[in-house]
Amino acid sequence: MSTRTVLHAADIARALTRISHEILESNKGPEGLVILGIPTRGVPLADRIAALVGEFGGAPVPVGSLDVTMYRDDLHRNPTRAPRPTQIPAGGIDGKTVVLVDDVLFSGRSIRAALDALQDIGRPAAVRLATLVDRGHRDLPIRPDFVGRNLPSARDERVNVRLAEIDGIEEVTIES
């Protein structure tokens, strides 16, 4: 098995800065935004993006997390997956532009589950998707609005995102 590093800490920081600027530009400012991370690594990425959007936009942006475990269509294959807490900001999501944040977009199934989970929480005005890595191979017609890095990969390769908050190291690798 070989592993190669495709993004280092500085690359990840640059990608998140660019994504944050793109979110602000597409929303025409920070008003009405809610940023929700999908556990596990989408949550610290959402926290970082919300901080950057708040800094660049001049106003704090509500941030939270959205657990999609019980909405997944592959629970029969991995029934031991433990649910994580969903934390919706106090203002809720009704009428807001919700930006879902995930680390890697692959088949699109996690995002489909996130859209189902959002329906149970409220009715956003719009839903956007930000992902650090888009590796292609979609099974569903889901496309990110904001991408840190397009990373073409083979289906049998594994893309690993490691973040300082969880893993103590900051990198994206591909194992083949």
What CATH number corresponds to the domain at position 9?
A: 3.40.50.2020
Q: What are the tens digits of pLDDT across the range 35-92?
A: 999 999 999 999 999 999 999 999 999 999 999 998 987 766 766 667 888 999 999 9
In a domain, residue 28? The reply is yes
Is it the case that residue 1 has pLDDT exceeding 90?
A: no
123 lies in some domain: yes
Residue 173: closest CA among 11, 16, 13, 8: 8
Question: Which residues fall within 8 angstroms of residue 34, CB to CB, at 6 or more apart?
Answer: 61, 62, 63, 64, 89, 91, 93, 96, 97, 98, 99, 124
Q: What is the pLDDT of residues 110-138, one digit of tens each?
A: 999 999 999 999 999 999 999 999 998 89
CB 117 within 8 A of CB 71: yes
Is residue 120 in a domain?
A: yes
Q: Tokens 């890595």 appear where? A: 133
Residue 12, domain member (yes or no) = yes
- Residue 55 in domain: yes
Residue 7's domain comprises 3-74+84-175
Alpha-helix runs per DSSP H in 6-141: 9-27, 42-57, 109-121
Q: Which two tokens mark 125?
A: 């005005």
Is residue 79 in some structural domain?
no
Instruction: Please report whether residue 33 resides in a domain.
Output: yes
Structural domains counted in the chain: 1
Strand 126-134 and strand 158-162: the pairing is: unpaired
Treating both helix axes as pointing N-terminal to C-terminal, what angle do 42-57 and 9-27 enclose, rounded to 10 degrees? 60
Within-domain flag for 105: yes
Which tokens hold the place of 162?
């490691």
pTM of the complete model:
0.95
